Amino acid sequence: MKNFNLILSCFCLVLNYAFNQTPKPVFNNNVISAAHPLASLSGKAMYAQGGNAFDAAVAAAFSLSVVESSMSGIGGRLQAIYRTSDGSIAGVDASTEVPVNYTPLKHKYSYGYETIGIPGVVAGLIKLQEDHGVLELNAVLAPAIDYAENGYKMLPGEALRQQMAKEKILEFEGSSYHFLKENGAVNSSGDLIIQKDLAEVLKSISAKGRKGFYEGEIARKIVEDIQANGGIITLEDLKNYRALSSKIVDGVFKDHKVHSLYLPSFGAITIQILQILDHLPTFNSEEDWTLSNGKATEIAYKYRKKQENLDSLSLILSYEKAEELADKINSSYSNIQKNDDSEQPISFGSIDGHTSHLTAVDHFGNAVSLTQTIGPNMGSKVATKGLGFLYAVTLGGYLGDYKPGDRANSHISPTMITKDGELILAIGAAGGSRIVPAITQVVSRHIDQKHTLERSLMLPRAYPFEDTLWIEDHDSVKDINAVLNTAIFRTKMINSIARFGRVHAVSYDSLNNSWNGAADPDWEGTTEYYIAGEKN
């Protein structure tokens, strides 16, 4: 008996040692690429504290909610795809949800209290961190709380976006209180922005987790304000909200596997475009590349409203069907055909760029590609006085028509590319309806054309709009752009930055066994690297 107890004790000690050992790094560095420099620094700080890619991504996402509030925030929705160090790929669905007592309105709204659904970002970020992070929640939220409580300097892009929304902000007391100065002026680039009320909300989340937002005092303030102004969210709606596990959809591109998210994300359309391109011959010119990508996007975008039907979904994801669609492009480069948009959601045709994306990968091999949004610029334009965050547009028809319990679909499409089971690229984008082609075109540039990730983000993109192929043509891409024969193909050169999606991505550098991040040159984001042991 004594021998048995001794053997059992030794076995338990071995198990305890095995389960409590920190995994050894497999890659040489950690990296995060996010849409604002302070968000990227928040992620880097998590790496310096021993955190992994999940901690870094969540810290950066909460920070974006503070410093880039026109694009995303804790009143919005989130979709993320992730890969754990053991190679498993999964996702989180934290899209905004339609309240249980919702009935469709005769009038269509694009902003205001009538458009507000149940926020999902907080639940989604907490799920990611609690399920896979290694740091405590208060450590992960600390940078965002610091930016809100002690202030940050507003960047030019954020100042411009808030200026663009000023007239609508003035319609709402809470929004005016939190996003305008006392004299009614909009904050300017370089201004120190302090948000004490938002800091208190973040502290509540830090101390109580999801209950600190979806229950208690914060939830009561949300519901009282929304219901007093024509909205319908209840305390039960908030309490019952949960972030869900996403369904992963898979495809093929150039002997690589493509992994993305099913609805509410548009990952199936991302895969369809790449599989159509996979059946086209190698592009011998920039003109061929531009036309083929434009046509592939045009064809796939006709399937956007068909994703919920399982038979249609199987066709969208079918590699054989993609070959059939590619043959139509091979036969001729016909002009872009204008769609009948009479029954399409406003967001399908909107050229309003919005949303924020980040990608984080660590030296253990964990990777997170995360997109969060509040809809169009400054979302619903509504903020509750005393809370300080904007709510997303969900109801009212902007994203389509929904019934109670539905989750809002959008072009959000965080994606991962693997080969032989190894991660090659983690990518995602912001930019409304240009999100999907921004992702597919950067993937094409990097995987097929074999450009570096940085150059792949810099090279011009194309987007089919109405009956014309729009082609990116601002100063940094003019000298490398395609020259198209406008006599036979309707095109429009667009001399405007950030109109073709903003991509933040991380790729694998096999020569150095390290990660290489890149931030879209059309935005104000940055990439931060951290090597274990270095001073932060």
What pLDDT digit, counting tens, does each position of 249-296 carry? 999 999 999 999 999 999 999 999 999 999 998 777 888 899 999 999
Count the neighbouring beta carbons within 10 Å of the beta carbon of residue 37. Answer: 17
- One DSSP character per residue, 426-439 reads EEEEESGGGHHHHH
CA distances from 392 to 234, 261, 278, 292, 375 (A): 16, 21, 36, 34, 6
Q: Are 93 and 407 a contacting pair, CB within 8 Å?
A: yes
Whether pLDDT at 6 is above 50: no
- pLDDT level of residue 4 (50, 70, 90 thresholds): very low
Whether pLDDT at 349 is above 60: no
Q: Where do the CATH 1.10.246.130 domains begin and end in the chain?
A: 248-347+433-494
Amino acid at 64: L
Whether pLDDT at 124 is above 80: yes
Residue 390's pLDDT is what? 98
- pLDDT level of residue 107 (50, 70, 90 thresholds): confident
Q: Are 357 and 414 a contacting pair, CB within 8 Å?
A: yes
Nearest partner of 301 among 262, 344, 354, 261, judged by Cα: 344
CA 211 to chain centre: 24
Cα distance between residue 469 and residue 463, in whole Å? 6
Contacts with 325 (C-beta within 8 Å, 6 or more apart), sequence order: 276, 296, 299, 300
- One DSSP character per residue, 331-388 reads H--PPPPPP--TTS-HHHH------EEEEEE-TTS-EEEEEEE-SSTTTTS-B-TTT-
Residue 106's pLDDT is what? 79
Residue 131's pLDDT is what? 98
Amino acid at 388: G
Cα distance between residue 139 and residue 145, in whole Å? 10
Nearest partner of 139 among 54, 51, 64, judged by Cα: 51
Residue 332's pLDDT is what? 66
Q: Averaged over 395-400, what is the pLDDT?
A: 78
Q: Residue 209 half-sphere exposure, CB side, CA atoms within 13 Å? A: 9
Amino acid at 276: I
Nearest partner of 80 among 361, 433, 430, 368, judged by Cα: 368
Cα distance between residue 501 and residue 385, in whole Å? 32
Q: Which residues pair with 519 in a beta bridge?
A: 504
Determine the length of the chain.
536
Contacts with 443 (C-beta within 8 Å, 6 or more apart), sequence order: 253, 258, 274, 415, 417, 425, 427
Percent over 70 (pLDDT), the chain: 90
Count the neighbouring beta carbons within 10 Å of the beta carbon of residue 223. Answer: 19
Domain 248-347+433-494, CATH: 1.10.246.130
Percent over 90 (pLDDT), the chain: 80
Whether pLDDT at 96 is above 60: yes
Whether pLDDT at 21 is above 90: no
Q: Which residues pair with 361 in a beta bridge?
A: 31, 367
- pLDDT digits over 43-59, tens only? 999 999 999 999 999 99
Contacts with 283 (C-beta within 8 Å, 6 or more apart), sequence order: 289, 292, 448, 449
Whether pLDDT at 339 is above 70: no
